[in-house]
Amino acid sequence: MYDVKKIRDDFPILGRTVYGKPLVYFDNAATTQKPRMVVDSIANEYYSVNANVHRGVHFLSQQATDLHEEAREKVRAFINAKKTDEIIFTRGTTEAINLLVDSFGNEFMSEGDEVIISAMEHHSNIVPWQILAAKRGISIRVIPINDTGELLLDEYEKLFTERTKIVSITQVSNVLGTINPVKQIIAIAHSHNIPVLIDGAQSVPHMKVDVQDMDADFFAFSGHKVYGPTGIGVLYGKENWLDRLPPYQGGGEMIQSVSFEKTIFEKLPFKFEAGTPDYIGTNGLAKAIDYISTLGMENIATYEHELTQYAMQRMKEIPGMRIYGEATDKGSVISFLVGNIHHLDMGTLLDRLGIAVRTGHHCAQPLMIRLGVEGLVRASFGLYNTKEEVDTLIAGILRISTMFN
Ligand code: PMP
């Protein structure tokens, strides 16, 4: 039984008010709220364990190291990677993608080589490639979308050339909610012997992810979007790829030995983890994974799917409603505009009613251009949202629409 009332009790922030109204938090695609057990684990580790990892022979250091490495194993099991060595801790999805682009780009790409991305990418899967393009003269090819917000797979197939070196695609769009058929996308790339990086920032919080089943070569996600702390994220990579990639940053922790003549780098995963890692964050992430695993990813997905279906249906009752992203396979994100009400006005007025939504370009300006809009309002749901909250949103939008008319 999915008991959302009981679940909400685990998130103290959900009990607060905003402008005297009960908070309705619908900005989960930007970041999620944290269950008490995650926040407690962070405080407890600082209070009772804190010491730098991998270095000290002393008790606390070993205990902190154990927690940190147990977290790596927890992440491995959570996304079903084959080995813990394939789990690299980063600051988030953005850093994970930058790491891969920099390292892969330096090793395997030269002038004229190509990366394939899509029209619905977040800036964090566009700009790093552009930086590489400016440095090394690579070019970026873009899979177009149709008007319902789905990738055109026939066009994707046509983008492969002998200069294609990698494909980098989001699993779920943070704007359209589209769930891309990544297994098929990866299989097509592999038929050309091309590796694929999947941006899992918006998929991992909402569905069961199995990197071996989808056969991703690289996979990135952020802790803060999956009910864990900020500042921690993951890059997964197949061992045979990571072994061939050069380090991203240099420093402590990532070396076996250093002399002024020669440095020998550490083995995986430490080769990619220069400096003191966020070992408090990794343990916090592990606790978040414990939390959602206890609820069950399938149960979360079913619950959120039903909630989103309900919200989509209610949204369509609103006169002048335009929803952006109506893919058959859609996650718990609804982007919209009503009549000619500016997205910022809608967001600001909803906020006054205690409803937190996102407005603007959602770090996907090329997608805004494709959709022919300057910005959108986005409501995105998490495992603790309810139909009553959706009703509050609908009533709020109706009230604002009436004001403008
Ligand atoms: N990719 C997608 C699809 C996202 O939605 C986001 C966050 N909005 C990111 C990447 C970047 O994640 P982070 O800011 O946590 O690095």
Give the pLDDT confidence of 100-118 residue by residue, as tens digits. 999 999 999 999 999 999 9
CB-ligand 1 contact for 121 (6 Å cutoff): no
- What does the alpha-carbon distance between residue 359 and residue 27 come to, in Å, rounded to a whole number? 10
pLDDT at 159: 98
How far away, in angstroms, is 18 Cα from ligand 1 center?
26
Q: Could you tell me if the CB of 102 is within 6 A of ligand 1? A: no
Residues counted in the chain: 405
Q: Which atom of ligand 1 is nearest to the CA of 225?
A: 15
Spatial distance between the Cα atoms of 327 and 371, rounded to a whole number of angstroms: 14
CB of 171 closer than 6 angstroms to any ligand 1 atom = no
Assess whether the C-beta atom of 180 lies below 6 angstroms from ligand 1: no
Q: Which two tokens stand for residue 140?
A: 């970026």
Instruction: Please tell me the pTM assigned to this model.
Output: 0.98
Could you tell which of 27, 101, 122, 235 is best to mutate to test the pocket of ligand 1, judged by most ligand atoms within 8 Å of the CB? 122
Q: Is the confidence at residue 165, as pLDDT, over 90?
A: yes
Q: Which domains does the chain have, with CATH numbers?
A: 4-27+296-404 (3.90.1150.10), 39-293 (3.40.640.10)
Band the pLDDT of 10: cuts 50, 70, 90: very high
Which of 91, 94, 151 maximizes ligand 1 atoms within 8 Å of its Cβ, making it the mutation to test the pocket?
94
Q: Residue 386: CB within 6 Å of ligand 1?
A: no
Average pLDDT, the chain: 97
Confidence of residue 55 (pLDDT cuts 50, 70, 90): confident
The yes-or-no verdict on residue 70 having pLDDT over 90 is yes
The pLDDT tens digits for 115-129 are: 999 999 999 999 999
Specify burial of residue 356 (Cβ count, 10 A radius: 0-12, 13-18, 19+): middle
* Ligand 1 centroid, distance to 298 Cα (angstroms): 22
Between the CA of residue 187 and those of 73, 86, 184, 313, what are the distances in Å? 27, 21, 5, 34
Q: How close is the Cα of 122 to the center of ligand 1, in Å?
A: 7
Q: What is the pLDDT of residue 405?
A: 85
Overall average pLDDT of the 152-176 stretch: 98
Exposure letters 292-329 (e unless 16+ CB within 10 A, then b):
beebebeebbebbbebbeebbebbeebeebebbbebee
Q: Is 122 in the pocket of ligand 1 (CB under 6 A)?
A: yes
Q: Is the CB of 201 under 6 A from ligand 1?
A: yes
Looking at the CA of residue 91, tell me the nearest atom of ligand 1: 16
Asked whether the predicted pLDDT for residue 62 surpasses 90, the reply is yes
Could you report the per-residue pLDDT of 267-288, keeping only the tens digit for each?
Answer: 999 999 999 999 999 999 999 9
At 404 the pLDDT is 93
Alpha-carbon gap, residue 35 to 384, rounded angstroms: 10
In whole angstroms, what is the distance from residue 279 CA to residue 168 CA?
28
With a 6 A CB cut-off, is 199 part of the ligand 1 pocket?
Answer: yes
Query: Which residues participate in catalysis according to the annotation?
Result: 363
Question: Which atom of ligand 1 is least distant from the CA of 93?
Answer: 16
Q: What is the pLDDT of residue 56?
A: 82
Rounded to the nearest 10 degrees, what angle do helices 343-352 and 387-404 cross at? 120
Query: Mean per-residue pLDDT for 51-59?
Result: 92
Ligand 1 atom with minimal separation from the 94 CA = 16
Q: How many whole angstroms from 98 Cα to the centroid of ligand 1? A: 12
